[in-house]
Structure 1
Amino acid sequence: MKKKWLLPIFASFMFFTGMGVHEAKAATIADITNTAKAYIGVPYQYGGTDIKTGVDCSAYTQIVFSKLGISLERTSTAQYQQGTSIAKDQLKTGDLVFFNTSGSGISHVGIYIGDSNFISATTSSGVKIDKINDPYYWGSRYVGAKRIANFTEGEVKDAEIDFSVYASRGEVALKLAKQLNLDTSNTNSSFPDITPASKYAGAAEALKKIGVFTGDENGKFNPGSPMTRGQLSKVLVEAFHLKQQGAALQFVDVPSTHWAYNYVSILASNKITVGKGDNTFGVNDNVTLVHLDAFIQRVAQ
């Protein structure tokens, strides 16, 4: 029986729409937060609706909520007509927050994620985290908030990982082998869990040959499992022979005692990562396809 990999994001809800507040009983605060943060770094594109090429603010919120089975309207103005109005001092994680950035009414929407922070697709930096009371910009442009759903504080529920969003180890191997222009003709894999017929065979074997992948304690490659951002930092540093380039950003979730500290520091010093916008790197977060492509593109520049 094939082992299923689990992720704390529940993505098989019924779809809801309408004016009231929905009881998203199966969705937790962690679900909405993790889903929203998974797209940090996705570029902004006016009118864009594709996370691979770019999204605008309302497309971003629509995509995040759709992953949790909740349907939002397409524009920020239309989304402002949904849900129930919430006072600023009553905000909860998952509430939509709206701003007037154009001088002519609702023009920007984001998702409140607690501690006065919200996440949104910005024209300047793509999807990122900002302070809702930022005195230099957002604070004076805040209009109001709407509660679309009530997210619980219960335990995170397990769900099958969505590989249309997250990168498998096999996918990482394919992309790296292509970027490095490796010879992938040898499909007689030495990994016991990869057959010659597997689409990952040549890439996995080529990367093993140059010392990037060595397998787990049983020698397996595990092509269908996810990869954390910490693990990817090690893979990228070794695959591209990266070296420390002076001082680097420090992340609160990667202390100097962490096994991935040197690898993350090297990535940051080479301007390949700036973290997740909240002083964390997300070292234990699974790598999204968007972030994988962004990392590889930055390394290759």
Structure 2
Amino acid sequence: MKKRWLLPIFASFVIFTGVGVNNAEAATSTELTNTAKEYIGTPYKYGGTDINTGIDCSAFTQYIFSKFGISLDRTSTAQYQQGTSVSKDNLKEGDLVFFNTSGSGISHVGIYIENGEFISATTSSGVKIAKINDPYYWGSRYVGAKRVANFTADEKEEVKDAAIDFSIYASRGEVALQLAEALGLDTSNTNSSFPDVKSTSKYAGAVVALNKLNVFNGDSNGKFNPGSPITRAQLAKVLVEAFDLSLQGNAAKFTDVSSSHWANNYVAILSSNKITTGKADGTFGINDKVTLKHLNVFLDRLNK
């Protein structure tokens, strides 16, 4: 298959997902907040876990944090057992805040976004922003807060109880390494222009080579974020554009990829080229983090 050399194939890489240990760089708490705000107005559904059709409070926090590689338990009660306790006076952006709205313990959770506000999925208005000390409702129902991730002064995040195992999952840096190798790029120059990719980083040569070819741009803060994972939807876009793929006949239909999803065409192209067959349950795994195993499978099929 023909490879495309000068394309902005890493555009989809700038969507921030999580980080792990091993000195992995991360998205900032502001990026977490901005991501949560994108879903304002999403309808509430008791027990709901689908961001498109309706979601409850704990599923909302679980979904938002999962986009940053942070695993939260399913219920607000269980989430209250994660992380470390934080006093109300020491709340920071990105902390989980908990409320007793039922009279029988923890029953609501949201994400603190500073200035005395938090965002959550409410039964009355869906996802919305509210005041944590609202005297008419939330103020008297506040129970406490937990911190599941620390944001340090240099905006690097240390995940406490939810580290991603990068011996299993592929980081952006690892994808850059393997893509540079697949494209046969010269990676001897390690003088990266990205502040979060030092010249001593094992990813530096691949990142510099790809940047030199104008293959990608950094995020809005000029960072590459080599320690963040990538979703299967994002990788679909990267591979289709990197290898200049086009639709080849019929493509399989996946139950989790709607016709209106931004990655629908990319997934269809991968499928029609027999690069992916999806999962056994009939889904593509659109929001799943890419594993190293699957990355290698995709690249092997592309190089045949």
**Structure-2-length-normalised TM-score:** 0.48
**Structure-1-length-normalised TM-score:** 0.49
Q: Which has the higher contact order (CA 8 A, sep 6+)?
A: 2
